């Protein structure tokens, strides 16, 4: 193992760190361990000026775990292990336009995702992240006692399928065919991180619709409160993309949102997700 030259700088108080001194297409086991430790600590890590083709991007992801194949993008591109996220001028909707964690309707949501900026606009298109352990820690003891035993219903009916109607408004297509079936899972409202032991909120706008044993109407007041707490400004960081930038986020402990403010410019990103485990 060669001596590491990794340097790291926090970009906000709650989460996010930029890592330099590493070429992601050439990292060794020691650097993988350092990046994993940084990811656990900061929730999301960023890199600049990286050059990777499809195979190198997938090889990087596999250093952190098996690749997760997204069921709602399977068949929409030539490689099921890669999702190309496109925003073209004229698109009125984009992928990730609400605060969310990725693909939480499945029983074992992805551990994380690695996003590479390929065609980056001169302005706009930033991504924001929010530390869900910080959000949980901010709650009162009474609120923690209330939500600690709860489980929530996660479904993909708002983001895929014929009724979601996403494809008419954006260039990144999702499954809307007649054979699509809704996927539903129950997850704890408060998740314990399997590597750090930190507890954090695990609910999000895109997938969480109710608490177990309650109607959506009954769930809404408390769920709305937890969703809003989860992205209070002091728990967030904001990343400005440049060509070749990479973001690697921990899907178990953060939420994120893509900003649709690129006006007349296109934005093209390549994403590979890393498989995860069942939330506990």
Cβ within 8 Å of residue 239, ≥6 positions away: 11, 16, 44, 46, 126, 127, 128, 129, 245, 247
Locus of tokens 């402990």: 253
For residue 38, the 8-state DSSP code is H
Q: Tokens at residue 106, please?
A: 């499945």
256: annotated active-site residue? yes
154, 187, 231, 271: the catalytic one is: 271
CA distance 226 to 201: 8
What is the total residue count of the chain?
Answer: 280
Catalytic residue (one of 70, 102, 156, 267): 102
First to last CA, the chain: 35
Among candidate residues 193, 252, 256, 267, the one labeled active-site is: 256
State how far the alpha carbon of 68 is from the alpha carbons of 92, 102, 192, 251, 258, in Å: 28, 11, 21, 12, 21
**Whether residue 102 lies in the annotated active site:** yes
CA distances from 10 to 77, 89, 263 (A): 35, 33, 30
Find the catalytic residue in 100, 187, 199, 270: 100
d(CA 219, CA 214) in angstroms, rounded, equals 6
**Active-site residue set:** 100, 102, 256, 271
């Amino acid at each position: 193992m060669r001596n590491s030259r990794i340097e790291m700088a926090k970009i906000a108080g709650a989460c996010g760190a930029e890592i330099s001194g590493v070429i992601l297409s050439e990292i060794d086991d020691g650097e993988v361990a350092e990046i994993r430790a940084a990811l656990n600590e900061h929730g999301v890590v960023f890199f600049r000026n990286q050059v990777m083709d499809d195979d190198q991007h997938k090889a990087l992801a596999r250093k952190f775990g098996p690749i997760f194949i997204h069921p709602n993008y399977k068949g929409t591109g030539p490689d099921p292990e890669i999702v190309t996220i496109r925003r073209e001028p004229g698109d009125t909707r984009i992928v990730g336009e609400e605060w969310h964690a990725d693909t939480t309707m499945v029983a074992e949501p992805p551990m994380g995702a690695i996003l590479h900026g390929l065609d980056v606009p001169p302005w706009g298109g930033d991504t924001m992240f929010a530390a869900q352990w910080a959000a949980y820690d901010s709650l009162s003891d009474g609120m923690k006692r209330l939500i600690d035993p709860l489980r929530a219903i996660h479904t993909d009916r708002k983001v895929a399928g014929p009724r979601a109607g996403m494809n008419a408004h954006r260039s990144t297509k999702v499954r809307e065919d007649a054979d699509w079936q809704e996927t539903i899972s129950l997850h704890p409202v408060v998740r314990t991180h399997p590597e750090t032991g930190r507890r954090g909120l695990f609910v999000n706008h895109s997938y969480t619709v109710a608490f177990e044993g309650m109607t959506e109407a009954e769930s809404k007041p408390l769920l709305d409160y937890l969703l809003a707490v989860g992205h209070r400004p002091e728990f967030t960081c904001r990343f400005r993309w440049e060509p070749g930038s990479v973001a690697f986020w921990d899907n178990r402990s953060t939420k994120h949102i893509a900003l649709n403010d690129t006006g007349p410019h296109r934005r093209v990103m390549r994403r590979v997700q890393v498989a995860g485990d069942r939330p506990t």
